[in-house]
Chain A
Amino acid sequence: DGGITQSPKYLFRKEGQNVTLSCEQNLNHDAMYWYRQDPGQGLRLIYYSQIVNDFQKGDIAEGYSVSREKKESFPLTVTSAQKNPTAFYLCASSITDYQPQHFGDGTRLSIL
């Protein structure tokens, strides 16, 4: 079945450490997205990519980085510059950027 796979489901980060969240899709979608979700809040866009080798900052890109070297993959790195990284991170994809988005099951990141 086609879908989006995020791994790991739970991730722990030490102070000063960079961590990378994986997102892979086999839906052949061009657009991919990363969102951050905090308790009681909606989704905030971190980065998005409309095509391979191109991506744009979303509303809260500071302290995060991404790459889009393959159509299927859009990993997110949470750098040590992100001072409050504890959150639920969601990856999504869509055929184009005006079509509905398909979501992975998320990665929950916590600080040790």
Chain B
Amino acid sequence: AQSVTQLGSHVSVSEGALVLLRCNYSSSVPPYLFWYVQYPNQGLQLLLKYTSAATLVKGINGFEAEFKKSETSFHLTKPSAHMSDAAEYFCAVIQGPLWSGGFKTIFGAGTRLFVKA
């Protein structure tokens, strides 16, 4: 079964510093991977997705993620943090096909990003 691990439940950076949020997945086949962002009292928004077309994926708000098969990682980065980046970030992987023939999205536990002025 697929799983996804986000290292660090909380990450704190200074405004203007590099943002690095870590995600590792377990997979025996090429996965579909996603990063979502959640602002307080809102639903999740898709930041970016990896579907095997390119290993470096660019998303919205200046975020990008690199798929590294050898490390089974899909870390999220942004060169310069902004106060508005403070939110919770979720890594997710598609599991399947299941016994029912369908697929299931497995979410990581989330990483809360704090940005200091």
Contacts and interface: CB of A to CB of B under 8 A. Distances in A.
Interface stretch (A13-21, A78-86, A103-111): A103-111
A52 to B, nearest CB: 15
Given A98-B94, A100-B49, 13 more contacts: A6-B43, A42-B90, A42-B108, A42-B109, A90-B43, A96-B103, A97-B102, A98-B32, A98-B103, A102-B46, A103-B43, A103-B45, A106-B41
Interface residues of B, number: 22
A22 interface: no
Contacts of B28: none
B34 interface: yes
Contacts of A101: 44, 46, 105
**Chain B binding surface, main DSSP class:** loop
A100 B43 contact: no
Given A42-B90, A98-B96, A104 B103 contact: no
